[in-house]
Amino acid sequence: MPARQVKGNVSAQDKILYVANKLGLSSLKYMQATTRVVYDQILTASTNHTLFEGCSQRAFPNTNLSDNQFQVDEALLVEKIAFYEPNDDGISFSSGENYKFDLIIGNKTVIKDAVMMKGGEQAFSTDGSASSLTYTLEGVGILIPPQVEFKVNVKPFDSTYTGIEERVGCYLYGTGVLLNFNTSI
């Protein structure tokens, strides 16, 4: 029997509903769709940062999350990942340096040893400008389901390079799902 061919493009909504169905999250289809950006930054010295993990111990403006997992009936389909280097105040920032990173959802590494190079043009990556360190996921993206912890491990691209010893921040951007009570509160 020949493989079934899918015609047309798969939308973000299709991917969210497909994964939700596979995970048994039947109520996700009734929730509110949105564009969502979550971020976290660490201002302490290190050559290996784990972002989003432990974000509950950081406050705004260093993060916009209270935990590194979404609530019931919330999810994020990650379509872009961006890195930046916060300044001393933790608010203003520059485009950062050259990084190697992993995206981990639950106990699975879903992106491993991806490289971000300032001004570089890698697979699935930046627009090539010196001010952009945005990693664009080709296709539909990667879903972070509700109540599953996620984190991003990031380190210098070159082990002899010490450019991110002080601080680094990360944005996860994409289509989100928010809790929808279908009533006025």
Q: What's the pLDDT tens digit per position in 24-70?
A: 777 776 777 788 999 999 888 777 899 999 999 998 888 999 999 99
What rounded mean pLDDT belongs to the chain? 77
**Mean pLDDT, rounded, for 134-142:** 81
Q: Above pLDDT 90, what percent of the chain?
A: 28
Residue 106 pLDDT: 95
CATH number for the domain whose boundaries are 12-176: 2.60.120.340
Distances (CA, A) of 177 to 15, 68, 163, 166: 12, 16, 36, 34
- What is the 8-class DSSP label of residue 63? B
Q: What pLDDT, in 10s, does the model give residues 76-105?
A: 999 999 888 777 665 555 555 678 899 999
Confidence of residue 130 (pLDDT cuts 50, 70, 90): very low
Q: How crowded is residue 65: how many other Cβ atoms within 10 Å of its Cβ?
A: 16
